[in-house]
Amino acid sequence: MTAHIRPVCAVWVGMVCLVFCSRLSGMKAASICGNAQAECHFLSLANLFDRVIQHSARMHGISNDLHSEFELYFLPSKNQVSRVGRNCHTSNILTPNGKENAQRIEREELTEVIMKLLAAWRDPLWHFHQSVARNHRFNGYGSNKSLEMSDMAHELRKGVQKVVEKMQTLGVISNSVGGLASPEALLAADGSGWRFMKDSDLLYCFRRDSNKIQNYLKILKCRIVPEHGC
């Protein structure tokens, strides 16, 4: 009995190893990055886009919640007249207001717009969070949301930066697209008009801008990598 066990065990172990090795190799073939470098790069770019788009969608959701909550508790009158005079500090950034406009504009320009928007909102969001935490206007929920919103905006900026770099390495867009250190971005960020905005207006403006960012990213993705989920 024992004499038979050893060879049987060895055979069994060998078979298991073979199975695993085959599976591993199969998995390699089915990995994200295949043999072709171009495929692998594009696949990863689409993946990056998806992640960024999801991130921006989430950010927009938070801003939407905060805005509605703010209006519910702090502006029950819903006086629409006052809103007309509202002016976001990012108004100076030229953004396409329609589909045709967005499709007509170049990828680099669109990318830059995204970058500008994200850059313009870094400081105001942080400031808004500080204001909310200091004044205790919102409850704990609001305070956490504002902080989360600020962090997400910051991370989204970095993520978009990575996507831009990826696109530039792939040659999808030219290298003329400025980074965070571009003058336009700096100008946009330097504007201090946002300090005089009311919190309600700030939330309103950010909600819109986050929607723009999300939409622009989607357009960009479907323009660059249309075959993956567009």
Structure tokens at 60: 């927009």
Contact segment (CB under 8 A) with another protein among 40-48, 96-104, 105-113, 147-155 equals 96-104
Name residue 38's amino acid: A
Q: What is the largest CA-CA distance in the chain?
A: 94
Which residue's CB is nearer to another protein, number 91 or number 139? Answer: 91
Contacts with another protein in 38-67 (CB under 8 A)?
57, 60, 64
Interface with another protein includes 79 (CB under 8 A)? no
Which residue's CB is nearer to another protein, number 93 or number 125? Answer: 93
- Shortest distance, CB of residue 54 to another protein, whole angstroms? 11
Structure tokens at 17: 């190893």
Interface with another protein includes 140 (CB under 8 A)? no
Which residue's CB is nearer to another protein, number 56 or number 132? Answer: 56
Contact segment (CB under 8 A) with another protein among 30-38, 84-92, 108-116, 151-159 equals 84-92
| Stretch (H or E) spanning 146 | helix 140-170
Interface with another protein includes 162 (CB under 8 A)? no
Which residue's CB is nearer to another protein, number 180 or number 222? Answer: 222
Structure tokens at 151: 């962090």
178 burial type by CB count under 10 A (0-12 exposed, 13-18 middle, 19+ buried): middle
Which residue's CB is nearer to another protein, number 53 or number 153? Answer: 53
**DSSP readout, 10-67?**
HHHHHHHHHHHHHHHHHHHHTSSS-S-HHHHHHHHHHHHHHHHHHHHHHHHHHHHHHH
Could you give the CA distance from residue 76 to residue 101 in angstroms, rounded to a whole number?
36
Could you give the CA distance from residue 8 to residue 79 in angstroms, rounded to a whole number?
84
- Shortest distance, CB of residue 139 to another protein, whole angstroms? 24
Interface with another protein includes 223 (CB under 8 A)? yes
Q: Which of 2, 97, 134, 171 binds another protein (CB under 8 A)?
A: 97
Q: Which residues contact 168 (CB under 8 A, 6 or more apart)?
A: 174, 175, 177
Contacts with another protein in 101-130 (CB under 8 A)?
102-103
Q: Enumerate binding residues for another protein (CB under 8 A).
A: 57, 60, 64, 80-81, 83-84, 86-87, 91, 95, 97-100, 102-103, 208, 211-212, 215, 218-223, 226, 229-230
